[in-house]
Structure 1
Amino acid sequence: MTKPLRIALAGLGTVGGGVIRLIDANNALIARRAGRPIEIVAISARDRAKDRGVDLSRFAWVDDTTALAHHDDADVVVELIGGSDGPALALARSTLAAGKGFVTANKAMIAHHGLELARAAEKAGAALKFEAAVAGGIPVIKGLREGAAANEIARVYGILNGTCNFILSKMEAEGRDFAEVLAEAQALGFAESDPTFDIDGIDAAHKLSILSSIAFGTQPAFGDVVASGIRHVIAADIAEAAALGYRIRLLGIAEDSPHGLFQRVHPHLVPVSHPLAHVTGATNAVVAEGNFVGRLLFQGAGAGDGPTASAVVADLIDIARGEFGPAFAMPADALASHAPADSGDRRARAYVRFTVTDKVGVLAEIAAAMRDAGVSIESLIQRGAMPDGSVLVAIVTHEGPERSVAQALEKLRGSQSLVGQPMWMHILS
C-alpha cells in the first residue's frame, strides 16, 4: 500500500473541524486523486475538552502547538489558528525549518510574513501553500499561479470580504442603513462581535496583497495597501447609486505599472452591466485581466467551514502528489520590489456625497471648490431635508485625476456648511 501523507492539524475551530469532516467523508475519493491516502495523525488546540462534533480520540493530542512541527509521525502541518504573529508564525517557521510541508488559511500571516516564509520553504525544499487564505473555497490562487501563469496580468480586483458584501447587498435590497444591517450580520454570524477588520477593509487588504504578489510577481506589500471600508456608506448612497445605474461594492484593486504598484481597498460604484454588480450576500468574486486569456472571473463562497476546508485539503492533495513549486508562483528572490504608485495620478470618475446645512450658498461653495481644483462636474443632485434639517448633495465627476478631487475636498475641510465628512467613492471602469 502506498504510504499515506500524514497531517498534524493546529486549530480546531470552524475550519479545523471542517477539514476533519471533509477528510472523513471523502477519504476514498481523496486517496484516488492524491495517489495515496491523506490522514490526520496529530491535533492541537487551546481547549482539549470542548465538544467539536467530531471524534478526536483517534488522533494524538499535542498541548504545545509549536511542537507539531517536530511530531515524528507528521509529514505536513496545517495551521488554522489565525493571527499574523504569535503561535501561528512560530509554528510556520518551525515547520519549514524542519523541512516539512506547511498549509495555512492565515491571510494575515502570509500578507505580513509571506516573503520570509517563502524563502524558508525554498531553502528547505518544502511546500508552502495557502489557497484557503484568499476567497475561501474559490481556487483563485491556483488559477493565477497555474492556469494563468503564461499571462501578463494587467489588473486584479474583486469582492474580497463576504461580510461587507452581505451588508451592502442587504442595504441595497431592503433600503436599510449600515448600523442596522451590521447588527443583523453579527446576529447571523456573518460578522464578528468586533467587525473592525472586515468593515474597515483590513481583511480585504490582506487578501489583495497576496493576490497582487502572485499576479504581478512582486513581493507581498501589505503595508502599501491603502484601505478604507464601508462604515460611512448610508442608505442614501445606495439609492443614489441605483438611480445612476450602479451598485456599491467594497473592491480591492491592484495594478502594476512603470509608475509603481497600486493597491487599494475602497467602496466603488460598479456599473450594473458588470458581473461584480450581481455578486450578493457573503459571496466573493475576483477578476483577473490577462493579456492573452482575457478577463477571468472567479466566484463562489469566500468563507465557511466547507469551502475553506475544501481549499485546505486541495493543497494537501497537491503535496501528496508532489505538485508544488514556489509559493508566490516564482522563486522568492525573483519577486520584484516595487514602490507604491501615487494614486493622485489615476484618472477616473468619482461619486462624492456631502451632508450640508440647508442654507443659501452651499451649492455654490461646493461647486467653487470643485472648479478651483480643476474637477469637472457631470451631475449634481440635491435631495430634500433630512429629519435633522441637513441636506444630501451628491456629485458625479467627469473623468479626471484623483488628485483634483482630493484637493477640492481639502478646500472644503472645516467648512461650516458641511455636516460631517464627505463620502468619496470611485466609479469602476
Structure 2
Amino acid sequence: MTALAPVDSWYAASANPTPSRAVLSDAITTQVCVIGAGYTGLSTALFLAEAGFKVVVLEAATVGWGASGRNGGQIVNSYSRDLDVVARQTSADAAKLLGQMAFEGGRIIRDRVKQYGIQCDLQDGGIYAAITPRQIKELQHQKQLWESHGYDQLELLDKKAIQQQVNTERYVGGTLDHGGGHIHPLNLALGEAQAFESLGGVIYEHSAVLDIQQGQPAVVKTAGGSVTADWVVVAGNAYLGQLLPQLAAKSMPCGTQVLATEPLGEERAKSLLPNNLCVEDCNYLLDYYRLSADHRLIYGGGVVYGARDPADIERLIRPKMLKTFPQLANVKVDYTWTGNFLMTLSRLPQIGRIGENILYSQGCSGHGVTFTHVAGKSLALAIQGQNERFDAFASLPHYPFPGGRLFRVPFTALGAWYYDLRDKLGV
C-alpha cells in the first residue's frame, strides 16, 4: 500500500519532536483495538489506558495526520447544532446529559495539557463574531440557552467592545466565550499520543486497516498483520473510507481550507487581535482565525463538499482574510493546506455500536476539537460498562443522505448555497 503523503502545513512545520513508530507486522492480541490516531482515537485510548486497559492503536498514516492535525485549532463549546436542536431530537433525560457534556471538551483538553505537560500553545478565550443584527439576536439566544444548562462563561459584546478585541470594521457585535480558546492542534495530538504511550499503550503507524472480522473477539486486519481484540473502536471519521459502508452512508467528508501568513511580528499581530483570542463568525459557511505562537495569522474558511482538494487554496481564502483585515493586503502567505472533516445530515455527531463489541464515533460536523474528547470519554466508559453517556449520544437519530453517495454532494451544496445566501442578505 502506498504511504499517505505528509501534510505541508504550518502545523507540520512547527510540530514538536515525535518518535518514529513501527508498522504492524505480526498477529497480536489486546483488550481494545482503536482504529485511528486522531483526537477521537487518542482520547479513547488515553482514558482506557488510565483505567488499566491494554490498548493498541492502528493509524493509516501518522499521529494527527487527518483533521486532528490540520484544523483551525479552536476550542469551541457545544455541538455543530446547538442544544435547543439537540433537545428536539431525543428524550428529556438524554438532552440534559448531552447539555452537560457540551461544555466538557475544553476542560478535558486543559486537564490533559496540565497533567501530561503537553506543549501546544494553549490560550484561553474565543469570540463568536456577528456580521448582521440577526446574528446578534442568535448570540443572545445562545447565551440564554447555555446559561440554562449551567454555563456562564459567555459575555455579550457590542460593536465598540468587539472592535477592542478584533481590529476590523466587519462585525456589529459578538460574544466572548471565556471557556473557549485555541491550541496548536497537531502538537496536542502528538502530546496525547505520547501520554498514552507513557502508560504502556502501543501505536502502529502506516498500518491502514483493511478489514474488520466481527465476532467475540473481533479481528482487525492490516496489510502486514492483525489485532485480535475484545473491543474495537472505530475512530477514522472523514478518513475511514469504505471500511464500514454502513457508516459512510450516513456521513460525507468535507474539505476546509486554511492559510498561514508569514510572521507578522508581535506588534503587528497584536494590532489585529490585542488579547490573542481566536475568532469565528456566525455565517453558515463561516470564517475562523487566530494568531500562532510565532505571530502568524492562521485563517480558514469555506467548505468543499465531497472533500476535493482545491487547486489554489490561497485564491479561495486570501480574499476572505482581506475582507476581515484589509490592512494585510501586502502580507505574504507562507503555508496553505486543506483538511477533511465529516458532516452528517443533521450536523449532529454519531456514536453507536455494530454488533456487541464494535463502537464508533464520527460526524463532528466542524466541532471536532472539543467533541472528540467528550466522545473519547464516553466510548471508554462504555467499554468499562458505564453506558449512560454513550447511550445519550446513541439516542440521536442518524439519517442517510437522500439519494445515497451519488447525490449527497449536490444535495448538501444546494443547502449550503441557500444558507450562504441568507447570510449575505442578512435574513
TM-score range, shorter chain: under 0.3
User: TM-score, structure 1 length as denominator?
Assistant: 0.23
Structure of greater Rg: 1
Higher relative contact order (CA 8 A, sep 6+): 2
User: TM-score, structure 2 length as denominator?
Assistant: 0.23
